[in-house]
Structure formats: C-alpha cells, structure tokens
C-alpha cells in the first residue's frame, strides 16, 4: 500500500499539470518533486533514463516515455515485487498505476484540459517556514548533447539562515524537460537528472493498460 501511495503522489504531481500549448510556455512553469521532470507535451516524442539520488544517498532509476500526443509512461527499475508503472494520459484525463506482480491497474481520473490559458505543473512551493528570497539566471549548459537553461532559487528560512534551501533547475524549452535538478540545504542534497535521451515515437503499447490486468478505479 505504501508503494502504491508513493506512486500515486508522483503521478498526481504530473497529472496536476495541464496540457501546455507550447514548449516555451512549459519551460517557464513551476514543477513538483519528484517525478515531474517532464511535461506531457504533444508533438515532441522522446524517451530517456532518469536517475534520482535522495538526501540519504539512495539512488532510484526510472525509464520515462512520452509519445506524440503527450501521453507519459514512468517505469521504475528495482525490486519487481514493488514495481509500480505509471501511465498518464492528459487527453483522456486518466492516471493508471500498474502493479506488475498483482496484475492490477489502479486508475484515477483528473480534469481534462487541452488548451488552457496558463498551463503548468502543480507546485509544492517553498517548504513550511520558508519563503522565496532570490532567483538567479544561470545561463546555458549542455548536458548529454542537449542545451538547457538554468535557474537558481533560494528559499529563505524564517528562523535560521543555515536552514535555507537552494534549488537549481536546468530546463530545455524545446523538449519541455528538466534535464538536471538539485536541491541543497543544511540537511543534505538530492538530485535528479536525465540521461540517454532518444528522440522518436515509443512503442504505442507502452501507454496502454495490458488486457490481462484487472482495473480498479480509485475515484
């Protein structure tokens, strides 16, 4: 159940966004951590590996796919008994969490908004007791052959300065992807980055609930 709830949180962070009208709009918007380093952007099919390192040093790997219609598949590696694959269809307004061992697909509906005036990711905002103090443009950086633009944001703690949170995001406007993100504070650092990015349409079967799965709606 804990694994399912975690998968739902990550999926909901992505589902809370709505379909962006353009890569330029997508790249200027806030995001939620983790699992939302990619927008459900239509017309730019890609696949890539994502590696995330937590404050405790635990490393998590995911394979991410996005097709030409903006559908997403987030496929974590690791223990098969705990593996929860996320399928996100912004056009139909459906999130599906696939239990690869149980062969159960838990589904959750969310509002389908195709062309909003101001699309974007759900944003968690500053942590409790923090406020946004400063934002700095970092220019350009090429990561694995892709050009990204960086921004450093400092969230100021209301009590002690040594608990400030510093966050860096490197975003590709054309791809609607955060290629690298780091978050640093007195308690440690965590990061996530994109590797092995491939352009092209993924297998369409990756975005469909397999026929042998039992579908269980959550709402």
Q: How confident is the model over 185-218, as pLDDT tens digits?
A: 777 788 888 999 999 999 999 999 999 999 999 8
Q: Quick one: pLDDT at residue 176?
A: 85
> Residue 193, preceding bond cis, omega within 30 degrees?
no
Q: Quick one: pLDDT at residue 27?
A: 35
Burial of 142 (0-12, 13-18, 19+ CB in 10 A): exposed
Top-level CATH class of 2-217? Answer: mainly beta
Binned at pLDDT 50, 70 and 90, residue 66 comes out as very high
Instruction: Give the alpha-carbon dihedral of 176, 178, 179, 180, to 10 degrees.
Output: 170
Q: Quick one: pLDDT at residue 45?
A: 94
Beta bridge partners of 94: 89, 109
Q: For residue 55, give every residue at least 6 positions away whose Cβ sits within 8 Å of its Cβ, in sequence order, or none.
A: 187, 188, 189, 190
Residue 91 near residue 19 (C-beta atoms within 8 A): yes
- Checking if the pLDDT of 163 tops 90, the result is no
| Structure tokens, 76 | 């974590």
The average pLDDT across 71-97 equals 83
Distance separating alpha carbons of residues 124 and 177, to the nearest angstrom:
18
**Closest of 47, 95, 71 to residue 200, by C-alpha:** 47
The average pLDDT across 92-103 equals 89
Q: For residue 204, give every residue at least 6 positions away whose Cβ sits within 8 Å of its Cβ, in sequence order, or none.
A: 67
> Percentage of the chain surpassing pLDDT 90?
25
Q: Quick one: pLDDT at residue 205?
A: 94
Instruction: Give the alpha-carbon dihedral of 32, 175, 178, 147, to 10 degrees.
Output: -160
Burial of 217 (0-12, 13-18, 19+ CB in 10 A): exposed
The average pLDDT across 152-163 equals 69
Least confident of 19-33, 50-64, 139-153: 19-33
Q: Average pLDDT over the chain, rounded to whole? A: 74
Task: Give the CA distances from residue 14 to residues 32, 69, 74, 135, 160, in Å, rounded to whole numbers and listed in that order.
Answer: 8, 15, 11, 24, 32
| Structure tokens, 143 | 């990561």
Least confident of 19-33, 99-113, 114-128: 19-33
In terms of residues, how long is the chain? 219
Q: How confident is the model over 6-56, as pLDDT tens digits?
A: 444 444 444 444 333 333 333 333 333 334 678 888 888 999 998 888 878
Residue 168 near residue 151 (C-beta atoms within 8 A): yes
Distance separating alpha carbons of residues 2 and 17, to the nearest angstrom:
24
Q: Quick one: pLDDT at residue 76?
A: 85
Least confident of 14-23, 55-64, 72-81: 14-23
The whole-model pTM stands at 0.74
Plot region of 205 (φ>0 → left; ψ -120 to 50 → alpha; else → beta): alpha
The domains of the chain are located at 2-217
């Amino acid at each position: 159940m804990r694994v399912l709830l975690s998968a739902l949180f990550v999926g909901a962070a992505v589902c809370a966004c709505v379909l962006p009208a353009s890569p330029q709009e997508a790249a200027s918007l806030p995001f939620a951590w983790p699992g939302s380093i990619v927008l459900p952007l239509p017309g730019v099919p890609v696949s890539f590996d994502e590696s995330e390192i937590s404050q405790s040093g635990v490393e998590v790997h995911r394979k991410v796919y996005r097709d030409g219609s903006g559908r997403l598949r987030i496929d974590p590696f690791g223990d098969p008994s705990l593996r929860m694959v996320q399928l996100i269809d912004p056009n139909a307004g459906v999130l599906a969490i696939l239990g690869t061992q149980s062969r159960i697909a838990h589904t959750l509906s969310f509002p389908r908004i195709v062309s909003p005036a101001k699309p974007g990711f759900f944003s968690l905002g500053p942590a409790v007791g923090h406020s946004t103090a400063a934002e700095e443009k970092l220019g350009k950086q090429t990561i694995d052959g892709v050009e990204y633009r960086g921004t450093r944001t400092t969230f100021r703690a209301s009590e002690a300065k040594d608990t400030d949170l510093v966050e860096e995001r490197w975003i590709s406007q054309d791809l609607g992807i955060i290629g690298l993100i780091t978050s640093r504070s007195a308690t440690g650092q965590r990061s996530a980055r994109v590797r092995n990015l491939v352009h092209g349409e993924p297998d369409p079967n990756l975005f469909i609930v397999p026929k042998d799965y039992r579908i269980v709606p959550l709402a």
